[in-house]
A and B are shown apart, each in its own frame.
Chain A
Amino acid sequence: MTALELITLLSQAIYVVIFLLVGYRYLRARTPAHLDMTIFFGILAFVVVESRIATYLGLVQPEWFTDTVVAAVVLLPYILLRLVDDFTTVPVVIKRGSELALVASVIGLYVFQGPTLPPAYVLAIVAYIAGLSFYCGLRFYRAAARAEGVTKRRMQAISLGTILFALDIVAAGAGGQMSDPWKTLLAAIGQVLGLASALGFFLGFAPPSFLRRAWQAPELRRFLARAASLPRLPSTLDIVRELERGAAAATGSQARIGVWDEDLGKIRMWNDPAAEPIHIEPGRHFSGRAFEQQKTLFSSQPARDDPEAAAAYRGARVGAIIATPITAGEKRLGVLVLYAERPPIFALSDGELAQLLADQAAVVLESRALIDHAARLRAREEATRLKEDFLSAAAHDLKTPLTTVVAQAQFLERKATRDPSAPSDLQGLQRIVREAQRLSALVTDLLDAARLEQGRLVSDREPTDLGMLVTQVASRQRAGAHSVEVDVKGAVVGNYDGRRIEQLMENLIENANKYSPNATPVTVGVWQENGEARITVQDRGIGIPASDLPRIFDRFARASNVDDRKFHGMGLGLYICRGIVEEHGGRIWAESEIGKGSTFHVALPLSEERRLN
């Protein structure tokens, strides 16, 4: 056996092997692409095996049989064109043109009888086969440029195989028209090209699994490298987006991830990142079915297989779908769906890749679920702790004045019982009155805080002049208290709950007095600025440490330089102030310098007509 004969035998064997592999694949997944591949390699394998058998047995074929075999070979580039059409789109002109040329060539085969065909006809057939094959090779090459991962590599191999196949045809056609030594040389070149083409087809159409894995590796690794940091992203939606992006890059298709919502009993999927998620029941559409059946589903005709969503598939130009469940052990987490405009030629290997990606997505989502679970536990513990703190602080603060009221009142009662004529104990009575008022204020604050939690502190709004209101509040300050200077610049009218704004001003002025031990004056300003009503309450008291400023409006907050012994209260005052302001749609903030005093700022919306003026 010569080297050339060996090469011929090898390439022929490869065609037979590919035929068996793609035929088997067609039996497993009956896609148009698998059918076309099977026909293509079926013809090649038939031609090869038939000629071997004929040579071996020394048979002489009848002419119609030989013509039919040649016609089948002439059919090959058209099958390639169909394969191109399976994966991308071939212009109608080219389809119809190639069909016409094919019919003309085949008719010619049967029309021209005799031992040799006219050279012009042979040239035409060679040009047709080679030209169409070149075209297909280029289209595969362009498809490869757009694809990713395994698909890209396989497309490249097929593109190479197709172009070499075209060159092989050219070499064979040219050789037939020449004499030695050119004929022998071209025949040899043709054999080498044939083997190379067969190898290209083999790698493209039926690559061994180790090669597929090697081709997948870079995309998978990139995906995994990114996946490691995903569970820490701020929200599940962010994670889903990133996973979808990774899966899309790794497969060269559109990717969507649906997350199983245990409480809802549905799969949540975000088709539009800005919009609300859609909910899919298990068993409905491909995602629901893959989730329910816990297996990878593939469809090259989604509109037919899922008629309910046919319009959506057509609208989004979805021509193929792979849906695979995302599952961690026994725990069903969701589903990964890959969409493509055209059915991919390699549905099965894309399915394998989709499963790998889904497994990784499962790890990411499960880690996220664990992080969320831990955070929820922490939040619940924190909420319980805050509630207990609140209750015990409230109970403590209520019991303290109550102690005085109870013990002092019983003591007065005992004294009056023993000696009804004794003069009344004025200081004892005053203590009871003072502590009862303190109790009453505490209860009011507690109720206000409870209303505030429900966001219904403010009611009955009506046009109110802040300047007049503030002046009234300031004038009510008891004699002997610090002097309060009020500076009102014009009428400042808005729609306010006058009672609550009074409470706000009383709290702020009282606070200013309370924390100004040296009886320094308190200044209150009211004006309007930039379409807002503005109020300031400025004292020259002890001030608030900068580190405490951000939290003085929180519940039970108290500046760290406040001596609890001198300043009573539950720390609810400023919390309620903030509630009043914010329920009016305003803002409250404070500026302060230790030892120099504090300024509390309030900004409230003005009424509509005021703002226009």
Chain B
Amino acid sequence: MSESLPPDQGGRDAGNWARPVDRLSAAGVTGAKVDSVSGKRVSGPLQGFGQLWQKTFKVRLDGSELSPVELIAMWKDRFPTFWPGGSRFYAPLAGIAPGEVALLDVQPVPGSPVKLSTGVMVLYADDESFTFMTPEGHTLSAWITFSAYRDGDVTVAQAQALERTSDPFDELAYMFGANRMNNRFWRQTLENLAKSVGVTAPSVDTQIVCIDKQRQWRHAGNVRNSATLRTARHTLTAPIRWVTRRG
């Protein structure tokens, strides 16, 4: 948990940004079994390893009376409820506000009993948008911004990610399916959001652009923090722990 800067100590946006923190703390989160975020640093697109992608997912909320501000307020308040089944978002008690940390349990493969435990920090939040930044160890070094705007008479909800995989193993997984699953995850999230405000057949528009095809080999060492490898190790050694407990 960290704090935002008071508005009188910066620009007009001062209260919207998280303050710099050396190490994250998930002390403001309850309910999660695993906290793999506390003590970690944040890690955005500049610190990641893989190719840099900008992904934009949009859904038109035809028929909804919600304004962008009302939609974002509702989205912040009920964020975990829009996630696809099998994954959990443990929101900070203080809500989605600058500097707050949330914990996540994500299924690396749909239907898998294995859960990847990680988290995000709220980098930025205002009335019409909020942005998460990933910590070290997350599969992605990313920012993802959730926003809403008016297109004519219709409110449009948008999720836009600027992301790289964090290390070479994550990049490999990304190339062999994790990327597609990630895209499906956000499309489904927007569909769930749209259905919650009465859109019966939501259609999510997706735009994916590769900003940088090169990989940042100087960040290959991120693998030492990998939540993916930690989870794999934990899963593979489960039988040993089971035998040890019984013996």
Do A and B form a real pair?
no
Where the two chains meet, the residues of A that have a C-beta atom closer than 8 Å to any C-beta of B are none
Where the two chains meet, the residues of B that have a C-beta atom closer than 8 Å to any C-beta of A are none
